[in-house]
Amino acid sequence: MNTTGSLNLRIISNGSKVLDMSTPKDDISINASMSFSNGTGAGNANQHWSDTRTLADGANETLDLAGGLTDAFGDTVTFANVKALYLYNKSSDANLVIGGAASNAFSALFGDAADKMVLAPGGRLLVWATASASGYAVTADTADQLQLAHDGSGESTLEYDIVIIGEVAV
């Protein structure tokens, strides 16, 4: 697969407080972007995978990042590293729990293989490391299982979007 693209993040927040003789302001403006070219190493990626997935109430699934995914062209994807991960919890009332696979957990994003992150209803997560040559390492058979789980609260199903951009060995 020939993969190129960009990631963009824009945060704008304006705060103010009315005082007796003035109204001080605190404005935050962050614009971050990263382009990547096809290839391996810093500033590059050569594979992406995406899907909209559904989890039943209390269910979980484990995505095998090193050989368990199939891309849009029907090819098996075996990530060597992840340069960007995007998740969107489309649920209006259930949490999406990320990480903590029982074995061979993809732990590069976490401090420990058992660590988990909770993505609240309507929440989005974007992590990128495209400037890094290695990104977040995926190690087949020892650190390649990304678990995603419905926390068992709220609606009977939870739908989420996932995009993974990274490198496969060439």
Q: Does 75 reside within a domain?
A: yes
Task: Catalogue the long-range contacts made by 7-15 (C-beta closer than 8 Å, 24 or more residues apart).
Answer: 7/33, 7/34, 7/36, 7/84, 7/126, 7/128, 7/130, 8/32, 8/33, 9/33, 9/126
| Ordered DSSP codes for the chain | ----EEEEEEEEEEEE---SS---EEEEEEEEEEEEEESSSTTEE-EEEEEEEEEETT-EEEEETEEEEE-TTS-EEEEEEEEEEEEEE--SS-PEEEE--SSSB--TTSSSTT-EEEE-TT-EEEEE-TTSSS-EE-BTTTB-EEEEEE-S-SSSEEEEEEEEEEEE--
Quote the pLDDT of residue 7: 93
Q: Does 18 reside within a domain?
A: no
CA distance 48 to 87: 14
Number of domains comprising the chain = 1
Question: What residues form DSSP beta bridges with 128?
Answer: 84
Q: Does 90 reside within a domain?
A: yes
Beta strands 66-70; 124-128: pairing state: unpaired
Chain-centroid distance of CA 103 in Å reads 20
Report the CATH number that the domain containing residue 149 is assigned in CATH: 2.60.120.380
Q: Does 61 reside within a domain?
A: yes
Q: Does 59 reside within a domain?
A: yes
Mean pLDDT by 10 residues, the chain (170 residues): 92 96 96 93 94 96 96 95 97 95 93 93 94 89 96 88 92
Quote the pLDDT of residue 156: 83
Quote the pLDDT of residue 21: 96
- Residue 115 structural domain: 45-168
Quote the pLDDT of residue 76: 95
Q: Does 52 reside within a domain?
A: yes
Quote the pLDDT of residue 47: 96
Q: Does 12 reside within a domain?
A: no
Q: Does 100 reside within a domain?
A: yes
CA distance 45 to 39: 5
Full-prediction pTM beyond 0.95?
A: no
Quote the pLDDT of residue 130: 76
